[in-house]
Amino acid sequence: MEIFSVEMLCKHLIFCAVQRCRLKNDMCRLSVKLATSPWCNPHLVRISVSDTGVGSTLEEYQHLKYQSGLVQAGKWGISDKDMHNLNLNMKNTVSSKRLTRLPSTSKNGAHFSGTEVSISTFESFDHLLEDLTLFFKKMLVLKIPLVAVELLVDYYNMPGSCTQNCIMGIECGSLPFPVESVTSLRTGFEDYVLKHRNKLDSVCPSCFSTGENLMVGTGVASCSGNVQSNALVMEAVVVISELPKVATPSCFREHETETQVLFYRDFVPSTIPKSLLSALESINWKSYGLTLRNIMDQDGCALLEWESLSPTLHIDIIIHYYDKQVNLLDSQISQKGRSLTRRAVKLALDELKEKNKGVLLSQHAQKICSYAPDLSKTIARLILSSNDGDFREECCSLLGLQFSDFNMEAVEGSIRERIVSVIGKHDQKTRESREASELLFEDQCIQRPEDYMEEEYHELEEVYNSLGLD
């Protein structure tokens, strides 16, 4: 793995630290500390990433290539008597010459494990702090089970004098690792949306005074079959927020017709792979009443651009891919990731659609709903114009109305609501059940034949990958 910047190296070291904490499966702490010496010219910045997980292994650093060279590392296992200190020259291509052992430090009989990795750079302190702060804000969304995280800054005003500030602290998640994290993911992502992508310190009072204008769906997809495949899990959360008519200009900018898709890999914010971009593009968005105009990669996040999306609506999506079998090495996402992504996002969309009546209706269902007002008005007039008292009474009972409320407005409203409800339920059914049911109109066509073929191809791909036959 080739490292191109200090920022990239820091994030990789944080990723490795999180995995070591996951392996320990006990309460852990992960600290990232920046320290600057103002009397050095240019100013030298020292960055250290430490954790109390299982001790690191040399294999974690064998395949790293970093042009700026020297990294200091310390590791200690629970049963080790000493803390082992190392220098790693990642520019050296010969593995045996990359490592220099330094004098060890005694643990004085204490029983604890952990790792600390430090790097020094002349990069801008302010730039590094800003980048890590944004990274930590993304980590706030998905609290890591049993792991507390903190970002610290040491200011050396003069030799021997140090002031330490905690820029950000993240409490550990309450769920143990064996439990699916989608519940924590949903809670954290809702909070992220309510704070306008964590740009605010608290919930925006202008847009989310009650929280009732959030519609949320979750989806979890995993492989079944052999043990290794069964460890792969993909979680997705889709949030649709409804912007009130009265909002500040800054809030309108937050609710643009674009969706930024956050991607997390093994509980750490990550760059979304191209295979997952392809998976998002392959979803039949029109079946959810959405038209995807464009999809692009923007600074490691997928950006979905919609056509004709209501200006009062905004869609946010987050995807979390993790392996239950913790791997300390940052490996490539397999081809199964593509089908798992597609399946998890579709499940989240389906749940959101099922829980919120009239939301994410397909474009065809929306067209049928447009006829509901005229149709309900015509039926209501026919009922109320009848001179048959028994017929009117029976209609009143079927519509769930009191005879005293049996007027044009009430009858029309009840009929319209039932028509829209039937259309919504019909729109949620699978293609097979839709074909077996009676159609509302003779010329109704839910999807074009080529759409069926594309859907069938992706469904077969998902089934094959879920079997874990590779």
Is the same domain home to 7 and 114? yes
Domain assignment present for residue 302? The answer is yes
Query: Which contiguous run of DSSP H or E holds residue 104?
Result: strand 99-106
Would the pTM of this model clear 0.85, i.e. be above it?
A: no
Is the same domain home to 426 and 317? no
Give 348-362 pLDDT, tens digit per residue: 999 999 898 888 888
Domain assignment present for residue 102? The answer is yes
Give 272-314 pLDDT, tens digit per residue: 999 899 999 999 999 899 999 999 988 778 999 999 888 888 9
Domain assignment present for residue 467? The answer is no
Is the same domain home to 51 and 92? yes
**Residue that finishes a domain, picked among 117, 143, 170:** 170
Is the same domain home to 239 and 311? yes
Is the same domain home to 38 and 106? yes
pLDDT of 446 over the 90 cut: no
By the 8 A CB rule, do 181 and 267 touch? Answer: yes
Edge-to-edge strand ranges of the sheet holding 99-106 = 99-106, 82-89, 70-76, 114-121, 44-51, 28-37, 147-158, 161-170
| DSSP state at residue 435 | H
Is the same domain home to 10 and 106? yes
Question: Average per-residue pLDDT in the chain?
Answer: 79
Provide the domain limits for residue 165: 2-170
If one counts every other C-beta atom within 10 angstroms of the C-beta of residue 128, the result is: 18
Is the same domain home to 252 and 235? yes
Helix or strand or coil: residue 235? strand
Is the same domain home to 201 and 95? no
Contacts 24+ apart (CB under 8 A), 110-113: 111/78, 111/79, 112/52, 112/76, 112/78, 113/24, 113/52, 113/53, 113/54, 113/55, 113/76, 113/77, 113/78, 113/80
Alpha-carbon distance of 216 to 191, in angstroms, equals 12
Domain assignment present for residue 227? The answer is yes
How many domains are contained in the chain? 3
pLDDT of 65 over the 80 cut: no
Confidence of residue 237 (pLDDT cuts 50, 70, 90): very high
